[in-house]
Amino acid sequence: MALANIQNTQPKGLPGRLSKGAGTHLASWLQESPSFTPSECQSLLDSSESKASNSVKGARALEKLYETHGRKAGHSKAITDVAYSGDILVTKDAGGMRLWRASGDCALLRW
């Protein structure tokens, strides 16, 4: 009987794994970016002047993003386009876009 009590008090799952609903909770931590709408982000990506590789600051911001979040930066597929607009980096893959703070911690933003 003592063994049954010990087994019932053990936490379930692996340590460090997120529980159900944690993704929604984590999404609430993302900082809002009222600066751009999705259509404005797309126009940045379409504009040749805003390419991250066109400026030294944009290239540095992109490298810092890659150092912080890896070469895919959270995308499920390879990044196909990147735009830089002073404070914000926009990355795009075949499935969607993401906004990132271009300086400091390169945090993922939401709109």
Task: Supply the pTM of this predicted model.
Answer: 0.64
Label residue 105 left, alpha or beta by phi (over 0 means left) and psi (-120 to 50 means alpha): alpha
Helix and strand element counts for the chain (H, E)? 4, 5
**Whole-angstrom distance, CA of residue 36 vs CA of residue 47:** 15
pLDDT, tens digit (0-9, with 9 covering 90-100), for 4-20 = 444 555 554 445 554 55
pLDDT, tens digit (0-9, with 9 covering 90-100), for 86-101 = 888 899 998 888 888 8
Contacts of 62 (CB under 8 A, 6+ apart): 52, 53, 82, 84, 89
- Sequence letter at residue 102: A
CB count within 10 Å of CB 89 equals 25
